[in-house]
Structure 1
Amino acid sequence: MLISADIIAVSYYNRHTQWRFIKKLMPSMVIGVLVGVWVGDAISELLFKRIMAIIIIGSVGIMWFFEKRKTNAIPQNKVFSNSAGFLAGFSTMIGNLAGPISNIYFLAMRLPKNEFIGTAAWLFFIINVFKLPFHFFVWKTVTKESLALNLILVPAVVIGFFLGARLVKLISNVNYRRFIIIVTALGGIIMLLR
């Protein structure tokens, strides 16, 4: 289902994709996925969610601080992009939680809303296709039955995407950034409390 949503988003927002950010994130993201495959069975899901929630809430706090200061400084440090890539890759393999980490990275890069969505769409499409064989053959979490269920849900995904795309057109870049920060923070808080 995630890949079907990615395909629609990639098709719609392709022209806005900023490939240089994908190239920065992808190598460390792949490493994060591979580490996730390796240690996935050993790590407690609850512990993982708590750690990720603390990282997400802390990162959102930093982003909010910089938003309030009205700074346009963009982090150029490779440690930042490599850390974001690794955490996004690891978290997407363990619990499909790359969204909040990549949101923080793209917000820090100050991407306008369409570039944000187009770049994120390609990033998730590539990494979701990459991790699919591990779900099939290593963890066996994707089955014929789950694929059949996902196919049934594709029309709902399509409708949801186009409603979302229309809504994005109505939101300014500033309000889109605020929306992403709030949703990411809420996601971290919910993850911490569950």
Structure 2
Amino acid sequence: MITLFSFTLTYTDIAVILLVALLTGMSKTGVHGAGMITAPLMASVFGGQQSSGIVLPLLIFADIFGIAYYHRHAAWQYLRILFPWAALGVALGTFVGARIDDQLFKMIMAVTIISSISIMTWLERVKREKIPDNRLFAGGMGLAGGFTSMVGNLAGSVMAVYLLSMRLPKNVYIGTTAWFFAFINLFKVPFHVFAWHTIRWNTVMLDLLTIPVILLGAWLGIVIVKSLSEKVYRWFIIGMTVVAAVMMLT
């Protein structure tokens, strides 16, 4: 057992935290399914709601690397619609998340991931003109993205559904998600600090120790994404989401 910034952790806990940092870095440079795996991993150490506050600073650190590399690749026409609805979803998630226990918290995460898998698989099998490319669809996905981001840092699966449906090229997909999550994660900070009290100085200090591992993950993500074709990349995202769903149900 080791005590770090008032956290009493086993060596296994530390290994999980470092793995989460590595996967978080990878997720921000294109390996987005890796980010969905981090939620159940961190919840296994700190519990559902507490873990979301510990993961958030990790995500913000990693967002910096993602934007630095992919900042020129973004579909702003979609982001301008998503942002207001996502902000409303965060507020709704703050209210709901404060009133549920860890078991229900994990159930919401599992349902979110499984639903996303089903929709993403369906989207890959339908023609482009059948996909609802309108403001109502975008608003609904933005609301769902903000809500799931707040209650479990799981907006990655929701945004994958929306942005894959738009058939964005690989780099534009990554750049758009990088900007979306940079905005939404910063927006969530006051809610975690003042409403849920899940971000404190000791959580930030613990997260700061992981920055080198996040940077390593960001580099690995860039290498992996460069090696994948557009079609393989899309199915890669779906496959990683399936892994996250299995982890939530075991």
**What is the TM-score normalised by the length of structure 2?**
0.72
Aligned letter for 1:186? V
Question: In 1, Cα distance between the equivalents of 2:186 and 2:79?
Answer: 15
Aligned with 2:151 (options 87, 94, 103)? 94
Aligned with 2:187 (options 108, 130, 148)? 130
Q: What corresponds to 1:72 in structure 2? A: 128
Q: What's the CA shift for 1:100?
A: 0.7
Q: What corresponds to 1:119 in structure 2? A: 176
Aligned with 1:2 (options 38, 53, 59)? 59
The answer to whether the 8 A contact 1:75-1:109 is kept is no
Q: What corresponds to 1:60 in structure 2? A: 117
Q: What's the CA shift for 1:7?
A: 0.6
Partner of 1:176: helix, strand, or coil? helix
Instruction: Report the CA distance shift for 1:59/1:143 in structure 2 as closer, same or farther (over 3 A).
Output: closer
The answer on 1:12 being equivalent to 2:69 is yes
Partner of 2:212: helix, strand, or coil? helix
Q: Note the residue ranges of structure 1 that are not aligned, 5 or more in a row.
A: none
**What is the TM-score normalised by the length of structure 1?**
0.91
The answer to whether the 8 A contact 1:32-1:87 is kept is yes
Q: What's the CA shift for 1:184?
A: 1.8
Partner of 2:176: helix, strand, or coil? helix
Q: What corresponds to 2:247 in structure 1? A: 190
Instruction: Report the CA distance shift for 1:40/1:63 in structure 2 as closer, same or farther (over 3 A).
Output: closer
Aligned with 2:233 (options 149, 161, 176)? 176
Q: What's the CA shift for 1:52?
A: 4.4
Length, aligned pairs only: 192
Aligned letter for 1:181? I
Q: What corresponds to 1:161 in structure 2? A: 218
The answer on 1:143 being equivalent to 2:200 is yes
Question: In 2, Cα distance between the equivalents of 1:147 and 1:130?
Answer: 16
Question: In 2, Cα distance between the equivalents of 1:63 and 1:96?
Answer: 19
Question: In 1, Cα distance between the equivalents of 2:77 and 2:102?
Answer: 33
Instruction: Report the CA distance shift for 1:166/1:127 in structure 2 as closer, same or farther (over 3 A).
Output: same
Question: In 2, Cα distance between the equivalents of 1:134 and 1:58?
Answer: 26
Instruction: Report the CA distance shift for 1:45/1:16 in structure 2 as closer, same or farther (over 3 A).
Output: same
The answer to whether the 8 A contact 1:103-1:184 is kept is no
Q: Note the residue ranges of structure 2 that are not aligned, 5 or more in a row.
A: 1-57
The answer on 1:23 being equivalent to 2:75 is no
Q: What's the CA shift for 1:55?
A: 4.3
Give RMSD over aligned pairs. Answer: 1.7
